[in-house]
Amino acid sequence: MYHSITSFFKDRSRFFYRLILFSLLSVCLFTLSSCIERRFIEATTQMDVRDEFWVRVLLFEGIKKCTVKSRSELYIIDAKARNPVASFSKAGPDVEISSSKYGFFVNNRKVSGSQLLVKTNSPYVFGINGVEYRGKLKLIHNADGSFDAINLVPLEPYLSGVVGAEMPDYWEASALETQAIAARTYCLYIKKRFGVNRRWDVKKTQASQAYHGIAAESARIQKAVDKTYGLVLVCRYGDGSEDVFPAYYSSVCGGHTENHQNVFGGESLEPLVGVKCRYCKYTARTPFYYWPMVQFDKKMVSEKILKKYPKLKNLGKVVKLAASKKSVHEDEYITRMTMVKVSGSTGKEGFLRGEDLRLTVDPSGYKIKSTICEIVDMGEKWAFISGRGFGHGVGMCQHGAQGMARRGKRTSEILMHYYPGSTIKSIY
């Protein structure tokens, strides 16, 4: 009997203990979900800034459907006629926008306009497919029935979504500030150089510079953007003019940044000549500073090259790859492939820039991490060995900037090291 009573109370104790734990867990999860759902978002700044300081970010290209949502009232407007086509109350359900060759549909209702503008009230934040961005959303109908989704966002709020996507927000303040200035400069250069000839200025991916919208924001990121408000880098061009330049940057240079002409071509620019970097080796993880051998099937490599570069189809099948030009930095024991000779089964030859070959064979850029490597014929495969660094290596080395910041270097000192001959100026 004693054991039965004892077991009874033990069982009841376990039951109540589990019940209390479950209740506490439920409360915590509810509180956490409520905090996430109700996270306070400050109002988007610069909504009245001049057009030249708005950025058009390509979010999605050639899609047929998306969902949009807002923290405030949401309005959909025929962008060309400037007529409202639909409106929705604050924090309502997701709105589905789709398209066909006949035009746009909002919640399955046909609406007028080949271009739609999605606008909101303060804090001027909208969500598309579950991701929030600042500013406005423009949808442009394509002839094939698909549409492009473009985020129209002021420059400074745009940078808040870039800096946190390109660097961890726990990095040193001066590193984050250099990233903000470099990203601002790069964006304005690309907008001015290429944006005038297309619907958008930059992509949200690393094809331009990573942009994650609201998700990338934090107090430290915002502080870095605010502290560098309107600051850009300029340099003198061959014709004597002074203007912004493509302030490239990459993750890990591997010990020496590269002259931009060897990677991207173009006019010679002093800030992009390539400099020593003795800092990234102390901040980058080993698999990114020294990366392991990777192998690719020869047939697959040949098909990728010929598909991306039709001008090389006269090669037949690619049978040999060999570096034809190298950038050698003997004091740092670095050799970067800048040009690769592609030999074909027909006996003909062609040439590709090293960076073009790298991203053709490995579009992700995460296997062949840089062109500081050697190509070795392994029979049925090509191997890329002795790899070092991560990225194209031009301009600022992000891990190097963090390394300099850890040693107490100021923002201006870091920028002048990686972009020698440049000047910091304010655009506002």
Band of pLDDT at residue 9, cut at 50, 70 and 90: very low
Find the radius of gyration of the CA atoms of the chain: 26
Give 33's pLDDT tier (boundaries 50, 70, 90).
Answer: very low
What are the pLDDT digits (tens) for 143-166?
999 999 999 999 999 999 999 999
What is the pLDDT at residue 244?
Answer: 98
CA 125 to chain CA centroid, nearest Å: 20
Residue 382: beta bridge partners? Answer: 296, 377
Q: ∠ CA(255), CA(264), CA(324), 5° rounding?
A: 75
Q: Is it the case that residue 31 has pLDDT exceeding 70?
A: no
Buried b / exposed e across 64-93, counting CB within 10 Å, b at 16+? eebebbbbbebbbbbbeeeeebbebeeeee
Angular region, 31: left φ>0, alpha ψ -120 to 50, beta rest: alpha
Residue with tokens 């302030």: 247
Using CA atoms, how far apart are residues 338 and 53, in angstroms rounded to an integer?
35
Q: Which of 340, 343, 342, 305 lies closest to 325 in space, CA to CA?
A: 340
Reported as type and span, the H/E element at residue 343 is: strand 334-344
Q: For the packed helices 354-361 and 298-308, what is the interaxial angle rounded to 10 degrees?
A: 120
> For the ranges 23-32, 184-193, 371-380, 414-423, which has the lowest average pLDDT?
23-32
pLDDT of residue 332: 74
Closest CA to 303 of 255, 344, 274: 344
Query: Does residue 37 register a pLDDT over 50?
Result: no
Angle at 72 between CA 67 and CA 73, to 5 degrees: 80
β-strands 202-203, 54-63 pairing? parallel
Quote the pLDDT of residue 84. Answer: 96
Whole-number Å distance between alpha carbons of 200 and 187 = 12
Beta-bridge mates of residue 344: 318
**How far is Cα of residue 365 from the mean position of the Cα atoms in its chain?**
13
Instruction: Decide: 211 and 165 in contact? Cβ < 8 Å.
Output: yes
User: Would you state the pLDDT for residue 330?
Assistant: 79
- Nearest C-alpha neighbor of 150 from the set 126, 174, 123: 126
What is the reported pLDDT for 386?
A: 95
pTM (predicted TM-score): 0.89
Q: What are phi and psi of 26, to 5 degrees?
A: -65, -45
Cis amide prior to 123 (ω within 30 degrees): yes
Spatial contact of 233 and 422, defined as CB atoms under 8 Å apart = yes
- Torsion sign across C-alpha atoms 362, 272, 193, 311: negative
Summary mean pLDDT of the chain: 92
What is the predicted pLDDT for the residue at 34?
37
Q: Could you tell me what percent of the chain has a pLDDT over 70?
A: 91
Cβ pair 355, 263 in contact under 8 A: yes
| Complete edge-to-edge strand list for the sheet that includes strand 374-377 | 294-297, 381-385, 374-377
Q: Where are the beta strands (DSSP E) in 13-164?
A: 54-63, 65-70, 74-78, 83-88, 95-100, 103-106, 109-111, 115-120, 125-128, 131-134, 136-141, 147-154
> In one letter, which amino acid is 245?
F
User: Tell me: the pLDDT tens digits for 63-104?
Assistant: 999 999 999 999 999 999 999 999 999 878 999 999 999 999
- CB of 413 closer than 8 Å to CB of 404: yes
Q: Where residue 388 falls among pLDDT bands split at 50, 70, 90?
A: very high
Give the pLDDT score at 18: 52
Contact present, 383 and 375 (Cβ < 8 Å): yes
Over range 251-274, report the average pLDDT.
Answer: 96
**Looking at the predicted structure, is the pLDDT value of residue 352 above 90?**
yes
Instruction: Report residue 346's pLDDT band, with 50, 70 and 90 as the boundaries.
Output: very high
Of 256, 183, 180, 257, nearest to 223 by C-alpha is 180
- CA–CA distance, 180 with 156 (Å, rounded to integer): 9
CA 193 from centre of chain: 19
> What does the pLDDT look like over 284-303, one tens digit per residue?
999 999 999 999 999 999 99
